[in-house]
Amino acid sequence: MDLYLTNTLTRAKERFVPANPKRVTMYVCGPTVYNYAHIGNARPPVVFDVLFRLLRATYGENAVIYARNFTDIDDRIISRAAELGESIDTLTARYTDIYRADMAALGNLKPTLEPTATGHIGPMCEIIGSLLEKGAAYKGSSGVWFCVAEDADYGKLSRRTQDEMLSGTRVEAEDDKKHPSDFALWKAAKPGEPAWDAPFGRGRPGWHIECSAMIRANLGETIDIHGGGIDLIFPHHENEIAQSETANGKPLARYWMHNGFLDMDGEKMSKSIGNVVLINDLAKEWPGEVLRWALLSAHYRAPLNFSRELLEQSKASLDRLYTALRRLKDVEVDPDVGPPEAFLAALGDDLNTPEAMASLFGLATEANKSDKPNEQELLKSKLLAAGALMGVLQGDPDAWFRSGDNVDEIDRLVAERVAARQAKNWAEADRLRQVLAGMGVEVMDNPGGSTWKRVN
């Protein structure tokens, strides 16, 4: 099938042709693990999961390498660990686990690789070393800086003017950079902060160099697709390009893709505004598939407003599709039947998920009317194959209609179980785990208490 993607670099919809169809590479900037992720943060991983599925279906499951990183060292992590009085490792391990559980609840496949920033200090030092050698970076007392004036291409992704770029930069009092647009590659060690030895002085990495290093070490100097939210175009991706392309002398990514924001009451959902709803909380009240459907219900580049009605509509849409599948419960599936042309054409057109959904409804309508076994088999097979590409409709239809909203009761049982564990009453804790399992609920115990999720 033909796949067209909007490339932020050229601002045009282009036909996607991988550099090597036997090794298609995609990198998506992942979370900073110091807190729960909100449903806005889920938009990039869900959108790029659909692209991952599409690429796997086109080039073969083993031909696509998708890396999504964990940023496990940064200012926010350091201050949150201090606030909670725990080690950085404990903090980041906990939120890494929670993030993985959230991603699974949303029906995302595991990326091929999940590199961590702290696991790539060596590759970061190599890039910084070569930038210093080339005169593209300089050392100050507060760290190592990338010298933007030395990079004639700087600004090519965001297409910003010098003034606009300046408005997006922060200058801290202790910074000793030569130009306000210069950005930190390496931050000199400060007392009480984690630090690593490096040829240019002990310290820790800047955010942008982490991705440049994880990409080069895991995927190569030039990758096919680089993705993330629209807010990452500047400065993060502009700076990744500046570092990587200056060091490697090659383009960093052939296609740059950016998703629009998930909004709440007309504003970007974000921790700093405070209008966030956590994935973890939503997943207790709603099947993950409803959240996924909601996130895919607008084109990925368009803004999407998050509301309770959006979730209710998404639930109703899935009810409609599962109703059709339930009616065909005893009909065989032909594994050789693929998704219908119209569905593939919609996804191939820059991942037009709303149009792909419309094609699913069309199939369901036909299926509801059909009473010929051959036709039913074909329609059910098409529905399931198309659903698999979007990561939906793979559950048992009967179980779908059983999934309820008994959140209060589940919370009560989990709390009883925590109390039983605190009283070292292991038999009672086990019994309650069984009761919850019978309700389709899995309990996860952490040092700070227990969380739970629905499992299918």
Contact set with ligand AMP (CB under 6 A):
29, 31-32, 40-41, 43-44, 228-229, 231-232, 259, 261-262, 268-270
Contact track, Zn ion, 166-205, x by CB under 5 A = ----------------------------------------
270 makes contact, choosing from Zn ion, ligand AMP, none, with CB < 5 to 8 Å by partner type, with ligand AMP
Count Cα neighbours of 288 within 13 Å in the Cβ-side half-sphere.
20
- In the complex, the smallest distance separating the C-beta of residue 211 from Zn ion, rounded to whole angstroms, is 3
211 binds, among Zn ion, ligand AMP, none (CB under 5 to 8 A by kind): Zn ion
Q: Are 279 and 106 in contact (CB under 8 A)?
A: yes
Residue of minimal Cβ distance to ligand AMP? 229
Applying CB under 5 A, does 233 fall inside the site for Zn ion?
no
Q: Considering beta carbons, is residue 252 or 321 the nearer one to ligand AMP? A: 252
Q: Which is nearer to ligand AMP, 45 or 340 (CB)?
A: 45
In this structure, which long-range contacts are made by residues 400-403, counting pairs with CB atoms below 8 Å and at least 24 apart in sequence? 400/287, 400/318, 400/319, 400/322, 400/326, 401/319, 401/322, 401/326, 402/440, 403/287, 403/440, 403/454
The CB-of-159 to Zn ion minimum distance in angstroms stands at 19
Residue 51 contacts which entry, ligand AMP, Zn ion, none (Cβ below 5-8 A, type-dependent): none
Closer residue to Zn ion in complex, CB, 205/391? 205
Q: Least distance in Å: CB of 89 to Zn ion? A: 22
Torsion of CA 307, 309, 313, 314, to 10 degrees: 30
Smaller CB separation from ligand AMP, 104 or 337: 104
Q: Does 211 bind Zn ion (CB under 5 A)?
A: yes
- Is residue 375 exposed (0-12), middle (13-18) or buried (19+ Cβ within 10 Å)? middle
Number of residues forming the site for Zn ion (CB under 5 A)? 2
Shortest reach from residue 276's CB to ligand AMP, in Å: 8
Between residues 229 and 387, which has the closer beta carbon with respect to ligand AMP? 229
CA–CA gap between residue 242 and residue 376 (Å, rounded): 55
Minimum CB distance to ligand AMP smaller for 100 or for 320: 100
Distance CA 291, CA 344 (A): 22
- Please choose which of ligand AMP, Zn ion, none residue 387 contacts, taking the beta carbon within 5 to 8 angstroms, the exact cut-off set by kind: none
Nearest to ligand AMP of 95, 400 (CB atom): 95
29 part of the interface to Zn ion, by CB under 5 A: yes
> With CB cut-offs between 5 and 8 Å by kind, which of ligand AMP, Zn ion, none does residue 94 bind?
none
Residue 287 binds which entry of ligand AMP, Zn ion, none, CB below 5-8 Å type-dependent? none
> Please, which residue, 231 or 428, has the CB nearer to ligand AMP?
231
Closest separation in Å from C-beta 267 to Zn ion: 24
| Smallest separation (angstroms) from Zn ion to the CB of 27 | 8
CB of 152: closest distance to Zn ion in angstroms? 23
Nearest residue (CB) to ligand AMP, 262 versus 386 = 262
Compute the least distance from the CB of residue 307 to ligand AMP, in Å: 14
Cβ closest to ligand AMP, residue 103 vs residue 232: 232
What's the rounded Cα separation, in Å, for the pair 337 and 32?
A: 41
Question: Shortest approach of ligand AMP to residue 40 CB, angstroms?
Answer: 3
Give the shortest CB-297-to-ligand AMP separation in angstroms.
Answer: 14
- The one segment of 28-36, 218-226, 259-267, 303-311 that binds Zn ion by CB under 5 A: 28-36
